[in-house]
Structure 1
Amino acid sequence: MTSSLRDLKVYTTYPHTCSYLKDQEATTLFIDPRQEVDQLLYSRLSHMGFRRSGNHIYRPHCGRCNACIPARLPVSQFAPNRAQRRTWARNTDLRVVRCDDIYDEPAYDLYYRYIEQRHADGDMYPPDREQYHSFLNNAWDCTRYYRFFAGEQLLAIAVVDVLIDGLSAIYTFFEPAEERRSLGSYAILWQIERARELGLDYLYLGYWIRDCEKMAYKAAYRPLELYSDSQWQGVP
């Protein structure tokens, strides 16, 4: 195991079409895929604004744009707004079950419908089982899968990594027909409460992008902290 972050090898991709901002090119910095990773190293990199996709740890590294800003929430300071309180109340009937994996058909069928109906314009369309497994795998034995049920009906799955100082919200997919429940928002609220229960300090939310509707929603969770100039700073 590498003892110092300075010893890590990193690589950059060639410029490619940005997934979030129209007419923009993106470049990604990623940790050497051959690097041995454990929860501690992964946590230290997350603290520096890195994320994971499957076994790959990455961070945007675009020459002309810095719109992708790592975001996290100090869970002890979070107080829900009126809309978030309503979302929580609408979902008090849900039952949450932790499971070991999401390789079964009901889980994949839910993911398939979610991508087909909510993200047909994204990088994960069309949905593919191999990509599903590689993207949402349990890379370093710190991933938890939580299923949300209404009665016996599976409505949502949250994929969550446990870091040394917090939870990292990797991905949530849910039943597209249940718009009234705001299941994506509820999953975040539930993860905030779960981090509190575990005595952890933060919920890492991925990248906040002001001009991308799919990513800008994170600003609704306050007090949000953003990683800028090599430090975490509260949003006024």
Structure 2
Amino acid sequence: MREVAASPAPRFQDDSLIVIQDSLQPCPYLADQVARMPLQWPQRTYNAADVDAFLAAGYRRSGAFLYRTQCPRCQACEPTRVLVDEYQPSRSQRRVLRRGDRDLEVEVVPAMVDRRHIELFNLHRNQRGLGGELEDIDQMSYRAFLVDTFCQTVEFQIKREGRLVAVAVTDVGHDGVSAVYTYFDPACSRYSLGTYAILKQLQWCRQMAAAYLYLGLYVAENPHLNYKAVYGPQQRLIDGVWQRFDSSGTPPGGGSPQPRQNRV
């Protein structure tokens, strides 16, 4: 089993990175907060070691760009990774796995886009209130968001009776695998497809001998992002150090982690 004690995050420096946008904006995760998330463009293709490096430094991928939060007065966003070797599904998660494995098919393929992907993406975003006043995404926008990439990117296609009902887009490193974005058909809620997609990615990590499944940003006060606390043990990048939390969101030694949005 790998060592998973708290450890400083390595710096990620790459001469090929160019900052193409860096401005303050309304926070997409918390109301009345100001965000800064500079977009950086890699001018080359990244191998598995590069993917491990940018994930460990707290970066995320969006299309052909890298970003991480550098907000002036808020530190609520905490990059999160599950410790694959130690993770054990809860009783409810095991039920989700059994139900899904009985009725669903899962295939891992290179990231792609077609008419059903677009239909499903917009259905999920609109019915779950994730799009705000944004117009439906088209094929070009979808490709720019999820398919255009500078590293190995796959998708978990989850089907029921041959029909696509969920997609989980995933970046692949050597030690780390990153859950980039997941969407699903709200009509199939009985399968808890968001949970099922994470559980299948965790299984795949074990098959690939990956140490970490990166789940993106944990934000305690955002209901669309704080669900990640149930996948533990995990580590969160806080003040430049990967710190361990159990599946209840409690750090070693007990105590209750405090929301960090007002820290300066």
TM-score of the superposition, structure 1-length normalised? Answer: 0.91
1:228 and 1:124 map into 2 onto residues whose CA distance is 32
1:125 and 1:66 map into 2 onto residues whose CA distance is 30
Assess if the C-alpha contact under 8 Å between 1:120 and 1:126 holds in 2. Answer: no
Q: CA deviation at 1:102?
A: 2.6
Q: CA RMSD in A?
A: 2.0
Aligned to 1:234: 244
Decide which of 84, 87, 91 is 1:78's aligned counterpart.
87
1:137 and 1:118 map into 2 onto residues whose CA distance is 22
Q: Does residue 224 of structure 1 match 2:234? A: yes
1:230 and 1:211 map into 2 onto residues whose CA distance is 21
Length, aligned pairs only: 232
| Structure 1 residue runs of 4 or more that deviate by more than 6 Å after TM superposition | none
Q: Does residue 130 of structure 1 match 2:165? A: no
Q: Does residue 36 of structure 1 match 2:9? A: no
2:24 and 2:180 map into 1 onto residues whose CA distance is 24
Gaps of 5+ in 1: none
Decide which of 35, 50, 61 is 1:52's aligned counterpart.
61
Decide which of 109, 113, 128 is 1:118's aligned counterpart.
128
Gaps of 5+ in 2: 1-11, 246-250, 252-264
Aligned to 1:178: 188
> Which letter does structure 2 place at the counterpart of 1:145?
E
Q: CA deviation at 1:231?
A: 2.2
Identity within the alignment, %: 35
1:47 and 1:162 map into 2 onto residues whose CA distance is 13
Decide which of 158, 170, 178 is 1:168's aligned counterpart.
178
> Which letter does structure 1 place at the counterpart of 2:159?
F
> Which letter does structure 2 place at the counterpart of 1:228?
I
Assess if the C-alpha contact under 8 Å between 1:166 and 1:200 holds in 2. Answer: yes
Matches within 5 A, 1:148-163: 148-163=158-173
1:103 and 1:61 map into 2 onto residues whose CA distance is 31
Assess if the C-alpha contact under 8 Å between 2:51 and 2:176 holds in 1. Answer: no
Q: Residue by residue, what CA displacement relative to the aligned partner does 1:40-82 show, whole Å, maximum 9, x if unpaired?
A: 3232111100000001100010010000110000111001112
1:125 and 1:144 map into 2 onto residues whose CA distance is 26
Aligned to 2:5: none
Q: Does residue 62 of structure 1 match 2:71? A: yes
Q: CA deviation at 1:151?
A: 1.6
Q: Secondary structure at the match of 1:155?
A: strand
CA separation of 1:165 and 1:122: change in aligned 2, threshold 3 A: farther
Q: CA deviation at 1:101?
A: 3.8
1:97 and 1:34 map into 2 onto residues whose CA distance is 29
1:125 and 1:227 map into 2 onto residues whose CA distance is 34
Q: Secondary structure at the match of 1:78?
A: coil
Q: CA deviation at 1:117?
A: 1.1
> Which letter does structure 2 place at the counterpart of 1:36?
R
Q: CA deviation at 1:8?
A: 6.2
Assess if the C-alpha contact under 8 Å between 1:210 and 1:216 holds in 2. Answer: yes
Aligned to 2:24: 15
CA separation of 1:220 and 1:143: change in aligned 2, threshold 3 A: same
Q: Does residue 87 of structure 1 match 2:96? A: yes
Q: Residue by residue, what CA displacement relative to the aligned partner does 1:162-194 show, whole Å, maximum 9, x if unpaired?
A: 012121001111111111111001100110000
> Which letter does structure 1 place at the counterpart of 2:191?
R
Q: Secondary structure at the match of 2:187?
A: coil
> Which letter does structure 2 place at the counterpart of 1:38?
Y
Q: CA deviation at 1:5?
A: 1.6
